[in-house]
Structure 1
Amino acid sequence: MANPFPFSAIVGQDDMRLAFMIAATDPSVGGVLAFGDRGTGKSTAVRALAALLPKIRVVAGCPYNCAPEKRAGLCGACTNDAKGKSELRSAPVVDLPLGATEDRVVGALNLERALAAGEKHFEPGLLARANRGFLYIDEVNLLEDHLVDLLLDVAASGLNLVEREGLSLSHPARFVLIGSGNPEEGELRPQMLDRFGLAIEVRTPQEIPTRMEVIRRRDAYDRDPDAFHKHWAAAEKKLRTKITHARERVANVEVPEAALERATRLCVALGSDGLRGELTLIRAARAYAALEDVATVGDAELKRVAPMVLSHRLRRNPLDDSGSATRVERALQEVFAK
């Protein structure tokens, strides 16, 4: 679609929009899982984010979007090419369909060239296209187990290793994983759930004015997408600039010892498994601070991102039937009151 629904025109869903912007600011946060009701704009927000992202500089002609300034992470072809030409491309946002074959995901031998010319030529897959961008899986909880295992391996290493039909090669595959789905249709495997840095619960708005505004904007967009997009062009430009500046600032945002201690105490209080919770919490708070043009991570930043970082990392407590969001809010009050 030439003019997707503008990201800035999405009504409500503040947590979802913020989570996507944090992931766009700092990919090391680890991706976003948006779970919730059908028809709440999850897929719309992902498509809108794709149009909002700043362009990236890549090695000219590279199918893997290699970054010319990072020689250590280049694919084999770019490493051997000394010309160093580069070009700007739109940041990739790649859909991974539920019915995709493994060959389509990881890439495979080009059979036409193999039969016609007798040469082995690798046809890059979806993971190649998604490098340095976003890989989006709608209904991620319905993804086949063998593809889940494959994605877990690649997400952990940042490298796609292909060994099949006499081919043996690897290429960079670092991407931000975005998943959406309806929990009523099945739960997500714990190993996959842990790979998402941020998780948000998307609910249908209950406020009458909010629902009316959603319908009003969607109807206006469907009747005349070009005019609607033009109306929101200034807001989109402002939001794109905000993300660009946040990317430039995020490395300089300070995380004082007090903030690190708060983050650690919060994770201990919640009993979150491993140390990934603290690390993601700090990274997400830093990215949020960069978006808000704040130089130092403080309590406000930690409290804003904590629910989306920690809610999906909690152990189930048979003696506490409270929801994960309630448990996080309770822990926030206890830790930050001290």
Structure 2
Amino acid sequence: MNAVTQDAQQHAAQRPAFPFAALIGQASLQQALLLAAIDPGLGGVLVSGPRGTAKSTAARALAELLPEGQLVNLPLGASEDRLIGTLDIETVLRDGAVRFSPGLLAKAHRGVLYVDEVNLLPDALVDALLDAAASGVNTVERDGVSHSHEASFVLIGTMNPEEGELRPQLIDRFGLMVELQNCFEPRVREEIVKARLAFDLDPSGFRAGYAGQQAQYVERIHAARNALPQLSFDDAVHAHVSALCIDAAVDGLRADLVMLRAARALAAFEQAEAVSSQHVERVAEAVLVHRRHHRETSSAGDVRDSQSEAVAGDLPQRSAVSRSANAAGDCDWGYLPPEPTATAHVKGVIPLSVKKR
């Protein structure tokens, strides 16, 4: 890394973040990010949308609300060692002690790990990211030597669908997904532009106007994290989650687990006494939007099968009707009456004489 790149990163780190409370027209994104902040074990948030829809702005804004306030960027060209860390095998062999050089996962602990254009990241790195995000632990193994450390962070991956999609087995492992769209409402666009111009003109003054709301977010996230273990799910909530996931024809049970945890995080954030079906409804779309399958093919197959069974069961009846119709000289359903065919005379074949031995 050259000096120019280092200076640019330091400048970006020192630049004040746009307040999370000042985001406009991003209610679904704000909810998903808050849920992931309350329960990082959800597996992160995938944000899909065109350029200029405040994806990176929201990620930086969320990091400021977390205990460490740390935002770690994962560049596309990063190696696996830089992400998960490395073990000095020579030190292990010589001194018998594990010498671990931490990577970006360790640096992101209790903060936000942000990956821009995650759909362009190598699959091996995406696997490592998602494993650590879901488990909260990073394990590095080299030549039979392993080292583990805590890695509880909020994973935020952004992507522009015009540049390619994630593989299905990878996109399913993101806990939540939000699809952003361009805003075409004049009033909302004006509010967004005015807020951004005001922030760029006077960042400190703009942030001061939202200081109270920001502090409330920090307190509510902290309280919600503490309340999670006390919230449970009754049978009605379980049944509602199962029905939604079955109707969406999801693969496996990951969607059920994520939906329950997301509903619990929402209930904790709102200081509810129990998780309800209303909480499930409000998080369902973010859980199912990237896991939903259409069952048109299977439905068409069922229709064909039922039609075949009906035809098979109706064959004797149709045969009887066709026979009566043929007898009357009127055929139905495409059946043709028997027709006599002429015979042709075949000349006799002269047998060959048997050769004498």
TM range (shorter): 0.7 to 0.9
CA distance in 1, matches of 2:88, 2:199: 41
Look up the match of 1:39. Answer: 52
Look up the match of 2:286. Answer: 308
Look up the match of 2:321. Answer: none
TM value normalised by structure 1: 0.76
Look up the match of 2:41. Answer: 28
Alpha-carbon shift at residue 31 of structure 1 (Å): 1.2
CA offsets, 1:158-210, max 9 Å, x none?
Answer: 44333458965333334332111101101012222122111110112221111
Secondary structure (helix, strand or coil) at the match of 2:158 reads: strand
Determine if contact 1:27/1:175 at 8 Å carries over to the other structure.
yes
CA distance in 1, matches of 2:208, 2:270: 26
Secondary structure (helix, strand or coil) at the match of 2:290 reads: helix
CA offsets, 1:75-100, max 9 Å, x none?
Answer: xxxxxxxxxxxxxxx15432111111
CA distance in 2, matches of 1:243, 1:96: 25
What is the Cα-based RMSD across aligned positions, in Å? 2.6
CA distance in 2, matches of 1:161, 1:23: 22
Secondary structure (helix, strand or coil) at the match of 1:15 reads: helix
CA offsets, 1:275-318, max 9 Å, x none?
Answer: 11111111111111111222122222111110001111122556
Higher gyration radius (CA): 2
Determine if contact 2:249/2:295 at 8 Å carries over to the other structure.
no
Regions of 4+ moved over 6 Å: none
Q: Which of 124, 127, 131 lines up with 2:105 in the alignment?
A: 127
In the alignment, residue 27 of structure 1 is paired with which amino acid? P
Secondary structure (helix, strand or coil) at the match of 1:313 reads: coil
Bigger share in strand: 1
Determine if contact 2:45/2:175 at 8 Å carries over to the other structure.
yes
Look up the match of 2:351. Answer: none
Q: Return 5+ residue gaps in structure 2 as ranges.
A: 1-13, 299-357
In the alignment, residue 26 of structure 2 is paired with which amino acid? Q
Map residues 60-79 of structure 1 onto 2, 5 A cutoff: none
Look up the match of 1:247. Answer: 225
CA distance in 1, matches of 2:136, 2:213: 34
Determine if contact 1:263/1:278 at 8 Å carries over to the other structure.
yes
**Does residue 285 in structure 1 map to residue 298 in structure 2?**
no
Q: Which of 49, 55, 79 lines up with 2:62 in the alignment?
A: 49
Number of residue pairs the alignment of both structures matches: 281
Alpha-carbon shift at residue 49 of structure 1 (Å): 0.6
Secondary structure (helix, strand or coil) at the match of 2:64 reads: helix
Q: Which of 225, 231, 235 lines up with 2:203 in the alignment?
A: 225
CA distance in 2, matches of 1:227, 1:13: 23
Change (3 A) 1:299 1:150: closer
CA distance in 2, matches of 1:12, 1:178: 19
Secondary structure (helix, strand or coil) at the match of 1:39 reads: coil
Map residues 258-337 of structure 1 onto 2, 5 A cutoff: 258-317=236-295
Change (3 A) 1:221 1:257: same
TM value normalised by structure 2: 0.72
In the alignment, residue 150 of structure 2 is paired with which amino acid? P
Q: Which of 145, 150, 158 lines up with 1:180 in the alignment?
A: 158
Change (3 A) 1:167 1:228: same
Change (3 A) 1:169 1:245: closer
CA distance in 2, matches of 1:167, 1:99: 26
CA distance in 2, matches of 1:292, 1:284: 12
Comparing 15-24 with 188-197, which one deviates more in the overlay?
Answer: 188-197
Change (3 A) 1:169 1:49: same
**Does residue 142 in structure 1 map to residue 153 in structure 2?**
no
Q: Return 5+ residue gaps in structure 1 as ranges.
A: 56-89, 321-338
Structure of higher RCO (CA pairs closer than 8 Å, 6+ residues apart): 1
Determine if contact 1:254/1:295 at 8 Å carries over to the other structure.
no
CA distance in 1, matches of 2:282, 2:104: 34
In the alignment, residue 181 of structure 2 is paired with which amino acid? R
